[in-house]
Structures are given as structure tokens and as C-alpha cells.
Amino acid sequence: MDRGTEVGDIRAINEMVARESAFVDLLTAEINKVIVGQNEMLERLLIGLLGGGHILLEGVPGLAKTLAINTLSQAVQGSFNRIQFTPDLLPADVIGTLVYNIKENEFSIKKGPVFANFVLADEINRAPAKVQSALLEAMQEYQVTIGEETFALQEPFLVLATQNPIEQEGTYPLPEAQVDRFMLKAVVSYPEWGDEVKILRQNLNGSFNPINPVISLDQIEQGRCAVRQVYMDEKIEKYILDIIFATRNPEKYGLERLKPLIAFGASPRGSINLAQSAKVYAFIKHRGYVIPEDVRTMALDVLRHRVGITYEAEAENTTSEDLVNEILNEVEVP
């Protein structure tokens, strides 16, 4: 492919993305009628939705995590279910079960709350491992088996799982292999002063605008197809792989100091998710090509739960975020 054709192709992709991504602003404006000052969280929700991934949200209670995904489901005409994870929850409470009908003298299938476009798994670390596994299998396979029958889950299917970083009593921390299933781990912070004033007034006045369905699930599917066509240069691919390999072998990137601090690096799923989320980020910014800044913006959310730290790092009060930031500062940007 000659240079002129390549530039022409990128220009065509750019125009297509500008056209196909127009709904993003419409959707964001609709959600912002209810959600104030959590733009980064909303961006991450859209990235999970358009990138076909799931999101783990960490934040204290009361930061509108439930409200955000519920509002998103209303704005895209999707179904929404919330599962409150508790220590006595059973897998059947999540995926469904067989119910015996005395009159008919046969078993019938009762589907669980996982059968929805948007599923909020509230405080996922409060349920035991077998319940977490049931949900995570559905997330990975996009299907559920009840009895001898297998059912495909609705598309799009987005799981938003939340964790409370404060309370650790009576919780079952997600194993690393299960945490790796999440495309992003986003940390939700407190709103700014001006935003909290708006939140306060909205709630005191009860002045919430109704959410109207502004786009359809078909448009989300079209958006996903458009994301796949976003152009990623080989230099960007190399940059992504350099970041991932630096989490595994930091000494090869002039980061010998990090070697004793990293217990394990990101898996190939990390590189796939970093590339995919960078493409979606470019898409929601109405760009048909990925730039290094897209990768840098998404790196922390993609890698903070994929880089394990050693006891030595804990003793130095070094977090996985600190390690990822140091890698981003050291790896050469194309």
C-alpha cells in the first residue's frame, strides 16, 4: 500500500468514525441530566460498552455508581438488573435455576438477574468464590447453563462490578485470575466542589429530569463495528507491547529498580484490552486513529489490577498504580 493510499484510507476512516460516533455526545448529554461530575466514570462505562468488556469500579458508597449504569441502560433502551452480593448468595440467585412445577409434574427454568443488557454486581467481593465464579463465567462465555440447557446472554452485555475499598471485614477478595477478566478497573473519586453543589440542589429540589431513550441497542452494535475499523499504527502496537513487557521484564527497559517490586506482570489479555480500550477512547473522541495519548490515558485503568506487587513493594507503600506510572514515564513514546 503506497503512502498516498494509506493517508486516503485513514481520512476515510476518520470521516466514518466522526459520523458513527455522533451518538456519543447525545448519550453523554442525556446521562449528564442526572449524573453530575463523574465524567471519567461515564467515559469508562462507554468504553466497556463499546469495547465489549466489563468494568470493576472501586469507590466509597454514594458516588452514583448504581445510578450511572441504571441511567445508561435507560438512555440506550437496554434492560438493567442489580444484584446485591451478600455472603449467603448462591449461584442460582445470579444465573437462575430449575423450579419444580407440581401441577405440570416437570421442571421449568427460572432465569436469573444475569439475563439483562446491563448487570450491576454490587459489592462483588462480599459473596463467596462459587458465586463470583458463576458470574465471571457468564462474563467470559456470554452464556449460562441451567440444568442441561445453555442460554446465550443478551447483546450487548455489560457487567459493572463494584468494590468498597474501605470495609474488608466479611469479604472474599477476587483472585487475580478472576480480576483479570475485567477490561478496566476504574477508581471513582469524590466530585468537585461545584459539582457537589449541583448534586445537593438537585436532590433537595427533587429536580431530576426524566431520562429519554436517545439511541438504540442496534446503534451500540454499529458503534462496536466502527471501533474495530479505527486505525492503529504499528508504532502504537509496539508502544502497547513495550508497556506490557515492561511490567514483566522491567530490567530490559532501564527499570531495574522495579524488578523486586513486581510479583507478576500483565497477561496477553492486558495487551488486548489496552489496544481495544485505546481504540474505543479514540472513537468517543471522534477520531479514526489511535494516538499515544489514548494509550497513556487508558493504561492505568487497564493495568492497575493486572500488575501484582511484592511484600517489598507493600513495605515501601508502593502501589501497582505507582509502578504503572513509572513504566509510562520510562517507556519511549512513539
* Same domain (yes/no): 136, 265: no
| CATH number of 192's domain | 3.40.50.300
What is the reported pLDDT for 285? 92
* Same domain (yes/no): 147, 37: yes
* Same domain (yes/no): 191, 247: no
* Same domain (yes/no): 200, 309: no
Give the domain-ending residue among 166, 196, 219.
219
What is residue 318's DSSP assignment? Answer: -
- 224 assigned to some structural domain: no
pTM across the whole model: 0.88
Query: Is 151 a residue whose pLDDT tops 80?
Result: yes
C-alpha to C-alpha distances, 209 to 34, 57, 89, 219, 257, nearest whole angstrom: 7, 26, 35, 24, 53
For residues 158 and 161, give the distance between their C-alpha atoms in angstroms, rounded to a whole number. 10
* Same domain (yes/no): 130, 153: yes
For residues 27 and 13, give the distance between their C-alpha atoms in angstroms, rounded to a whole number. 22
Confidence of residue 170 (pLDDT cuts 50, 70, 90): low
Convert the pLDDT of each residue in 31-44 to its tens digit. Answer: 888 887 788 888 89
Closest CA to 159 of 79, 55, 82: 55
Convert the pLDDT of each residue in 275-315 to its tens digit. Answer: 999 999 999 999 999 999 999 999 999 999 999 888 998 89
For residues 163 and 59, give the distance between their C-alpha atoms in angstroms, rounded to a whole number. 7
Give the domain-ending residue among 166, 185, 219.
219
* Same domain (yes/no): 164, 304: no
What is the reported pLDDT for 325? 92
Amino acid identity of residue 257, one-letter, is R
Taking each helix axis as running N to C, give the angle between helix 39-51 and helix 22-31, from 0 to 180 degrees, rounded to the nearest 10: 130
* Same domain (yes/no): 241, 104: no
Query: Is 174 a residue whose pLDDT tops 70?
Result: yes
C-alpha to C-alpha distances, 31 to 195, 278, 324, nearest whole angstrom: 15, 22, 31
- 226 assigned to some structural domain: no
What is the reported pLDDT for 5? 40
Query: What total of structural domains would you count in the chain?
Result: 2
Convert the pLDDT of each residue in 182-233 to its tens digit. Answer: 999 988 888 888 888 888 888 888 767 788 888 888 889 999 999 999 999 9
Q: 185 pairs with which residues across the strands?
A: 56
The answer to whether 323 and 305 are in contact (CB under 8 A) is no
- 225 assigned to some structural domain: no
Sheet holding 118-122, edge to edge: 80-84, 118-122, 158-163, 55-58, 184-187
Domain boundaries, position 62 = 3-219
* Same domain (yes/no): 163, 266: no
- 122 assigned to some structural domain: yes
Query: Is 108 a residue whose pLDDT tops 50?
Result: yes
The helix/strand/coil state of 31 is helix
Q: Going by DSSP bridges, is the β-strand pair 106-111/96-101 parallel, antiparallel, or unpaired?
A: antiparallel
- 212 assigned to some structural domain: yes
The answer to whether 331 and 239 are in contact (CB under 8 A) is yes
* Same domain (yes/no): 245, 180: no
